[in-house]
């Protein structure tokens, strides 16, 4: 049963880490889009 708990915890940590990475990428892309919009004006 300990292996199931360890696997379940590892999967949740991987998912959480992936979501953090996606959040950082989204923030970076949003800044870049705003920068490009400013150049357009």
Dihedral sign, CA of 19, 20, 23, 29? negative
Q: What is the pLDDT of residue 4?
A: 95
pLDDT tens sequence across 1-41: 899 999 999 999 999 999 999 999 999 999 999 999 999 87
Domain layout of the chain by residue ranges? 14-41
Q: Please state the pTM of the whole predicted model.
A: 0.72
Rounded Cα distance between 9 and 14, Å, is: 9
């Amino acid at each position: 049963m300990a292996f199931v708990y360890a696997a379940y915890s590892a999967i949740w940590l991987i998912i959480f880490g992936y979501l953090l990475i996606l959040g950082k990428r989204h923030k970076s892309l949003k800044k870049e889009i705003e920068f490009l919009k400013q150049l357009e004006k």
